[in-house]
Each structure stands twice: as C-alpha cells, then as structure tokens.
Amino acid sequence: MPALNRVQLIGYLGKDPESKYTPTGKKVAHFSLAVTQRWKTGGETKEYTEWVNIEAWGRLGEICQEYLKKGSLVYIEGRLKTDKYEDKGETKYYTKVVALAMQMLDRKPSEEPMLTVEEEAAEYEA
C-alpha cells in the first residue's frame, strides 16, 4: 500500500536558525516555526499557536541560516520525523519536520522575487 509523509506549513520563525555540522561533515540548520490558527466563535476571534521544530540539511540549511531570522515569514514543505533520546533513564520522543523546500514570503514590493529552495530527500536521510 502506498504511503505519504508530507507537511506544508506557513509561519514565523521563533528564533534565528542555528547550524552545526554532523561528524560526517553535513550541515544542518534548526529553527522553530510558529503556525497560528485563527477562528471566530460567537463573534469573538480566538487563536492557537502550534510551535514546530524544523530541520534543514545541506544547501537548504545553509540558505536558511543565511537568509532567515527571527520573525521571518516562510513556507516550509517537508516530512515528519520522530526521534528519541534518553532523559534520566526514561526514553522520550519528539517530532520535527525535515524541510525539503523553503520559500521566503515576507518581502517588500520593490525587492526581487521570492527565493525558493528544494533539496533531494534521499540525500539527507538521518
């Protein structure tokens, strides 16, 4: 049976991207994305913000590090990935989005067109 693991998000960066290199020399950037949902209930506007951890590898990670900053509005397309770690002998799990494409959405009318970057997913399997 076929499967699909694809996520599309539009939101604001919660902090500047942080980069590091893996022991094999691959660059990876991490940042958080605030995705806010708004709705009306009885004339009152309500909202809920979901914070999503994003991971971008290789050239995409380099571009995120160079061009994005806290407060940037971006479109991210990627896949969900769950990792685990040990904390005081207890296994804990967390889910993140591994970015496969990024498009900057906040720009002034006089600026150049939006930058779009896509990466091959198989190249950065962790």
The CATH code of the domain that includes 19 is 2.40.50.140
Owner of token pair 């499967």 = 3
Query: How many domains does the structure of the chain reveal?
Result: 1
> How far, CA to CA in Å, does 64 sit from each of 33, 42, 108?
12, 40, 19
Instruction: Supply the range of the domain harboring residue 70.
Output: 7-124
Cα angle vertex 124, ends 56, 23, to 5°?
90
Per-residue pLDDT of the chain (126 residues; tens, 9 = 90+): 889 999 999 999 999 999 999 899 889 999 999 999 999 998 899 999 999 999 999 999 999 999 999 999 999 999 999 999 999 999 999 999 999 999 999 866 555 555 555 654 445 544
Q: Is there a domain that residue 40 lies in?
A: yes
- Across 1-126, the runs of DSSP E, i.e. the strands, are 7-13, 18-21, 27-41, 44-57, 73-87, 90-104, 116-118
3-state class (DSSP) for residue 23: coil
